[in-house]
Structure 1
Amino acid sequence: MADAVTLTDQVEAYHSWKKELVRNITRYRRWLQFNELLEGDIERHLQRSIRLLVEDELTIAFVGEYSRGKTELINALFFAGHGQRLLPSEAGRTTMCPTELFYDRHARTSYLMLLPIETRNGAMSLQQLRHESGAWETVALDPADTETMAATLARVAETRTVPRAEAADLGFNDAMLDASPDDPTQVLIPAWRHALISLQHPILERGLRILDTPGLNALGSEPELTVSMLPSTQAVVFLLAADAGVTASDMTIWREHIDTRDADHRAGRFAILNKIDVLWDDPSGSDHTGNAIERVRETTARQLGLGMEDVLPVSAKQGLLARIRDDDGLRRKSGVAQLEELVSERILGRREQLISGELVSDLRSMIRSNQAELENQQASLAAELELLEAQGTDRQEIAELAEKTRHDYDFFNRRLITLKSSRRLMASQGDMLRRILNPERFEQHAERTRQRLEGSWTTPGLASAMNALFEVLENDFNNLMAEGRRAEKMVGSIYRRHTSGDDDRTLEPVPLRLGRHLIALRDLRSRADRFRRDPRSLLMQQSRLIQQFLTTIVSEARQIIHRTMQDIDRWPGEALMPLLQHTQQQKQRLESQFQRLRHIVDDEKELKAEADKLRQQRGTLDQQLRVARKLEERIAPPPGAQLP
């Protein structure tokens, strides 16, 4: 199989695995329903699992200084099948604004959306503007007409000529702008602030999302890109020039925007030494060229703190030509084939493990729990059947067993009543948590911060106001964590009180997991500190600095609060779920057993008929257990992935 197909095959295999897993979750739901084990909380949990699989996306960011070949590499990796450059990447026509490539699975159409650069003067963040269709210029794309589509997409390279003062007002560093060839008092700036490209492309349809970023000037002038978008991408491909290695501006991008402790990048960071073809014609020969490239690889890996396997030499231009011409030798020589393998095996493989590990383990744990319940029923039926089939069994023994069953049933019925009362207590715990942290309280903090910022006349005053916001938010979170620990301790005592020593398995409460949100807040605070200390921020007009802080940092904090509230709203209903389900199922099992035994005691002729029914029920249980075990086998991680 040609290397060019490797990436597509990997994405397709991952997509097929997700589709099959969704089918198996649906089968599992039907199995639960058949066995009367489907509770409302379980159904909601399964729906969330399906939604996670359906909406799953992997974002790879291509980052580097201006003219490092980021867009050309994207063309070579993903769009060579069009037989030409799809995105503008030739000299003088390159991406000027952050651009996201994806497939809109809701609209199911291809389009280009462009956000005018003037929106930087507004009060809305990029995240908010995504929902304001009127703020964007939208152009439909026809995937069947490559020429027209490429011409339309070239608009992401459009620039505008503006006075230097206007460029400064929009957040650009004058030293990094090109002067207008017609008027040196004016400069060229990007016409667009952001671009969204929905393309009906096989890999994008499968959930891959690509973030193409301009150079250092754009990174520094669009804080939301560096505070929110870049840190949240799962993987970063960092482009460098093979003949220069890591320059000072490259290192600035790496240290300030990529290699930060608060970034996600769980699927990896990789450095690409691009444009190795400029070294191919060295008069010293190919061996000399190869050794030179290896030395640059070693130096780059050392400077960036990466392993050698994470630094690849590539020629995006030659790779694109090789893909267009279907020249396997040139594709291999260009390094694009090896990069495809890296994206396939390292980035996509890591993403598969991240999504599949917890989800698959969780589903398997639920199925094993269900199996345990059915095995309890199986053991109970076996004991009953043994009693009914025993020679000389008298009705007194059956009556005594019925009485014991009734006693056990009463025990679980009382436990269930108590647990339902405890659930009401859990609802009040949720209310208490929501009083400590809620959107209204956050907006009060944000408004006080805005007022303090606008009332500050000095840089230290601005810094104090920004820090004050995080101080009050961390204080709220610390109070929330403390109250959450008390609530979890209360839940733990409920489990200990209601878990008898003869339970066949240990029941564990569902954890609240608030700590991850506090970590996210602290990570945001460190990014806010870098934003505040950035020399570009210090040179901004005060009004613009305040606006960028509110639309970027505060908006990101608002998202953290939103995610925290989702967990707070969900947890009170789920915390007792395993114990409630176990108790409900035991109660139902004992109720059925008691009814059967009382029927036998009341009607002497029913002994043999009831034994036949028990054997039939045992057969049904055996069949359902086989189905459950098969489901457990089918709900598996992707091929080659390992469960944690």
Structure 2
Amino acid sequence: MSTGSLSNQVEAYYGWKSNLLRELARYQDWLQNNELYSDDIARRLQRGVKLLKEDELTLAFVGEYSRGKTELINALFFSEFGQRMLPSQAGRTTMCPTELFYDRESSKNYLSLLPIETRKEDYTLAQLAKQPEKWTTIDLDMSSPASMKANLDEVAKTHSVSIEEAKSLGFHENMLDHDPVNRDLVIIPAWRHAKISMQNPLLERGLRILDTPGLNALGSEPELTISMIPSAHAVIFLLSADTGVTASDLTIWKDYITTDNADHSAGRFAVLNKIDVLWDDLQGEEYVQQSIQKVQQYTADHLDMSVEDVLPLSAKQALIGKVKADHALYEKSALPQLENLISERILAEKERLITKTLLNDILGMLQNSQAILSARLESLTEQLDEYKDKGVSKELMHNLTQKTQKDYDFYYKKLITLRSSRRLMKSQGEILQNLVSEERLEAQVRETRDRMKDSWTTIGMNREMGKLFEFIEHDLNNLASEARLAEKMVLSIYKRYTEDTRAKHLHPKPFATAKHIRALRDLKNKANRFRRDPRNIMTEQTLLIKRFFDTLVGEARLIHNRILNETITWPDEALLPIMQYTLEQKQLLEHQIRRIKTLSRNNKDARSQREQLKSMINDTQKQLMIAESIQRHFRKPAPIHLRQKVVNLAGYAG
């Protein structure tokens, strides 16, 4: 697969999402035309539109220094400039996390840098991202590779500072290099974080790259290891073919990649870079391939992963091959295999997630609407047959109106009951939210920080750390108890509702916090290990407090916020399926009553009345056909999935 093929796959993925956006707009129009639109449905559709428009695919490139992370990014995204654009040479070049993306809001090319000194402030990276005045921003001229490269070199800029200053900024002394000129000073990055917005076909379509520093700086930025790497859709773990898996590689893999709170829904992959050191013209190609396979298997065994997920390649030779248009060298570098992995495995997973989170929800809504229209069509057809058999009379029209009115009254009363139940759910939701409110947690965090500062002993500080996690666990236990009561209430509402309607297929959304609660309990165990760690026991009080709050409390906030979001959204959405079903039934019956009254009032002869009824039937059939068309478009396989099916069928046929 060539770079063009990767671009084509990303373009196809973007095109698929654009088609889904068009179908969502079409579905919205259809709902409005059939008087099935409501505020609840509007919110669900708006969430779908937001998901598709803001969807990004984040690839985190992680590895020890001198493994070639930046060189690989240069080969993937900057070869068109004919040179290395991001600073990439021997040694520790990337010391600050760097994000590569395209800013679709501003549509500008720029480099934005956050000074390292901001670590002394009590702001997270997420908070600082909303404070542009804290950042140094440089415009990038895409038409001038030389000036662009000079600006991007700023990413690798460093400062030499005293050991005390480095510690105050959160660095570990043993993880830093000493200044070769003045051994009393250590080298730290000048910048805490870098953002590069750049027009590029892949980046414009929502691909986002995270280039991380080596182990020396990786653990110094808590938000990177707590949030950014774990939330990446996929991780590309860089290793060097000439060294294999080293002790520091394993530390990064275990401590920062295969963590309990990591998402990585599209997978974790190891890249064995620098395989060109194994190329040997004297020994021959067969010997070279055997050597590569041997180190590939060794790596897979040490990382406990499938050998297919270990990709040997040479980023350096790939960049040279692309810059010099040497297709043979580019192929030999094995970069096409990584590009194939990005498109075939990682994009396919994003397609699956969109299908799971959005399409299944929309298709469920659409099927409900179709079922209601089908029932109305059946009723209208029965009425027409009755007209043919008995003729049209005032009594028949009266009976038809009464029957429809009775059905309408049934769903109207159901809707009133459900609205009352929803108010009850809102009250229950407020109880849940109060148990895990952000204000409640932050108040406890402040108290813990103050008590730790006032503590004169390590034992005292350790006790306060433990109390914070006991407080959080106590709140979660109360939340779990209240949530069980709320879920029982929802199930009883559904049970009563489905006893006397045809809505037995409807089910409530579960209260999904179990995964996050487990993660917080695992974090409590991690906090216990932190408290017992001899290195932390010997650490100066101020630094220990900062380390505890930057890492463990930061991670607790992240997980706690996910639980809070669920307590906010779940009470509103738990009754949504039967609310939608009931509202659609009521609105359709209301519409039908108006049509019957119009038919009875305006048409005195039987023939005209039958024609009016046929018109209603035809209109309903037409709306069902539109709904079926929308459903077919939503059900169309995503591009990667479709291509894989075609390949599988071709392979089977052969």
Which TM-score bucket, shorter chain as reference?
A: over 0.9
The secondary structure found in structure 1 opposite 2:219 is helix
Distance, in Å, in 1 between the alignment partners of 2:274 and 2:151 is 27
For residues 53-87 of structure 1, the C-alpha deviation after alignment (integer angstroms, 9 at most, x for no partner) is 11111111111111111100111112212211110
Distance 1:432 1:206, change over 3 A: same
- 2:278 pairs with 1:279: yes
Task: Select between 294-303 and 338-347 the one with higher mean Cα deviation.
Answer: 338-347
Q: CA RMSD in A?
A: 2.5
Matching residue of 1:616: 615
Task: Select between 151-160 and 460-469 the one with higher mean Cα deviation.
Answer: 460-469
For residues 84-137 of structure 1, the C-alpha deviation after alignment (integer angstroms, 9 at most, x for no partner) is 111000235722211111112222211112122222222222222222222221
Distance 1:216 1:588, change over 3 A: closer
One-letter code aligned to 1:52: L
Task: Select between 286-295 and 592-601 the one with higher mean Cα deviation.
Answer: 592-601
- 2:259 pairs with 1:260: yes
Does the Cα contact within 8 Å between 2:508 and 2:575 map onto a contact in 1?
A: yes
Distance, in Å, in 2 between the alignment partners of 1:205 and 1:568 is 34
Distance, in Å, in 1 between the alignment partners of 2:262 and 2:538 is 26
For residues 167-224 of structure 1, the C-alpha deviation after alignment (integer angstroms, 9 at most, x for no partner) is 2333333334332232222222211122111112221111111111111111122222
One-letter code aligned to 1:122: E
Distance, in Å, in 2 between the alignment partners of 1:55 and 1:72 is 28
What is the CA-CA distance between 1:606 and the residue it aligns to? 4.6
Distance, in Å, in 2 between the alignment partners of 1:604 and 1:316 is 79
The secondary structure found in structure 1 opposite 2:235 is strand
Distance, in Å, in 2 between the alignment partners of 1:559 and 1:220 is 17
Distance, in Å, in 1 between the alignment partners of 2:404 and 2:421 is 25
Distance 1:520 1:144, change over 3 A: farther
Distance, in Å, in 1 between the alignment partners of 2:351 and 2:529 is 32
What is the CA-CA distance between 1:487 and the residue it aligns to? 1.4
Distance, in Å, in 2 between the alignment partners of 1:523 and 1:206 is 37
Distance 1:335 1:138, change over 3 A: same
Distance 1:337 1:545, change over 3 A: same
Matching residue of 2:56: 57
Distance, in Å, in 1 between the alignment partners of 2:123 and 2:606 is 76
Matching residue of 1:146: 145
What is the CA-CA distance between 1:319 and the residue it aligns to? 0.5
Distance, in Å, in 2 between the alignment partners of 1:135 and 1:548 is 23
**Count of paired positions:** 642
Distance, in Å, in 2 between the alignment partners of 1:448 and 1:469 is 9
Matching residue of 1:421: 420
Task: Select between 275-284 and 445-454 the one with higher mean Cα deviation.
Answer: 275-284
What is the CA-CA distance between 1:475 and the residue it aligns to? 2.1
Matching residue of 1:197: 196
One-letter code aligned to 2:606: L
Percent of aligned pairs with the same amino acid: 50
Matching residue of 1:569: 568
Distance, in Å, in 2 between the alignment partners of 1:244 and 1:514 is 42
Matching residue of 2:638: 638
1:58-207 correspondence to structure 2 within 5 Å = 58-91=57-90, 94-207=93-206
What is the CA-CA distance between 1:13 and the residue it aligns to? 1.1
Distance, in Å, in 2 between the alignment partners of 1:332 and 1:196 is 31
The secondary structure found in structure 1 opposite 2:639 is coil
One-letter code aligned to 1:303: H
One-letter code aligned to 1:543: T
Distance 1:385 1:324, change over 3 A: same
The secondary structure found in structure 2 opposite 1:84 is coil
Task: Select between 497-506 and 191-200 the one with higher mean Cα deviation.
Answer: 497-506
Distance, in Å, in 2 between the alignment partners of 1:84 and 1:532 is 48
One-letter code aligned to 2:250: M
Does the Cα contact within 8 Å between 2:347 and 2:640 map onto a contact in 1?
A: no
Distance 1:387 1:544, change over 3 A: same
Distance, in Å, in 1 between the alignment partners of 2:22 and 2:590 is 33
Distance, in Å, in 2 between the alignment partners of 1:632 and 1:266 is 27
What is the CA-CA distance between 1:247 and the residue it aligns to? 1.1
Does the Cα contact within 8 Å between 1:412 and 1:586 map onto a contact in 2?
A: yes
The secondary structure found in structure 1 opposite 2:428 is helix
Distance, in Å, in 2 between the alignment partners of 1:166 and 1:504 is 66
Does the Cα contact within 8 Å between 1:100 and 1:197 map onto a contact in 2?
A: yes
1:551-566 correspondence to structure 2 within 5 Å = 551-566=550-565
Distance 1:628 1:530, change over 3 A: farther
The secondary structure found in structure 2 opposite 1:421 is helix
Distance, in Å, in 2 between the alignment partners of 1:599 and 1:340 is 63
For residues 494-546 of structure 1, the C-alpha deviation after alignment (integer angstroms, 9 at most, x for no partner) is 22222344516522233332334424534554665676667765564321231
TM-score by length of 1: 0.93
For residues 580-629 of structure 1, the C-alpha deviation after alignment (integer angstroms, 9 at most, x for no partner) is 23223333344454556567778982533222111011111111111111
Task: Select between 249-258 and 167-176 the one with higher mean Cα deviation.
Answer: 167-176
Distance 1:576 1:462, change over 3 A: same
One-letter code aligned to 2:317: Q
Distance 1:162 1:490, change over 3 A: same
The secondary structure found in structure 2 opposite 1:641 is helix
Matching residue of 1:465: 464
Distance 1:220 1:575, change over 3 A: closer
Does the Cα contact within 8 Å between 2:66 and 2:92 map onto a contact in 1?
A: no
What is the CA-CA distance between 1:368 and the residue it aligns to? 0.9
Distance, in Å, in 1 between the alignment partners of 2:580 and 2:169 is 58
Matching residue of 1:222: 221
For residues 537-563 of structure 1, the C-alpha deviation after alignment (integer angstroms, 9 at most, x for no partner) is 556432123123324443443344444
Distance, in Å, in 2 between the alignment partners of 1:108 and 1:600 is 56
What is the CA-CA distance between 1:307 and the residue it aligns to? 0.9
One-letter code aligned to 2:475: D
Distance, in Å, in 2 between the alignment partners of 1:12 and 1:328 is 23
1:144-543 correspondence to structure 2 within 5 Å = 144-281=143-280, 283-391=282-390, 394-503=393-502, 506-522=505-521, 524-525=523-524, 537=536, 540-543=539-542
Distance, in Å, in 2 between the alignment partners of 1:606 and 1:612 is 10
For residues 29-74 of structure 1, the C-alpha deviation after alignment (integer angstroms, 9 at most, x for no partner) is 0110111011100011100111011111111111111111110011
What is the CA-CA distance between 1:326 and the residue it aligns to? 1.9
TM-score by length of 2: 0.92
Matching residue of 1:44: 43
One-letter code aligned to 2:334: G
Does the Cα contact within 8 Å between 1:123 and 1:551 map onto a contact in 2?
A: no
Distance, in Å, in 1 between the alignment partners of 2:599 and 2:265 is 62
One-letter code aligned to 1:178: D
Does the Cα contact within 8 Å between 1:79 and 1:85 map onto a contact in 2?
A: yes
Does the Cα contact within 8 Å between 1:62 and 1:212 map onto a contact in 2?
A: yes
Does the Cα contact within 8 Å between 1:227 and 1:524 map onto a contact in 2?
A: no
Distance, in Å, in 2 between the alignment partners of 1:163 and 1:391 is 100
Distance 1:332 1:618, change over 3 A: same
Distance, in Å, in 2 between the alignment partners of 1:546 and 1:226 is 18
Task: Select between 510-519 and 541-550 the one with higher mean Cα deviation.
Answer: 510-519
Distance 1:161 1:150, change over 3 A: same
Distance 1:557 1:469, change over 3 A: same
What is the CA-CA distance between 1:478 and the residue it aligns to? 2.4
The secondary structure found in structure 2 opposite 1:635 is helix
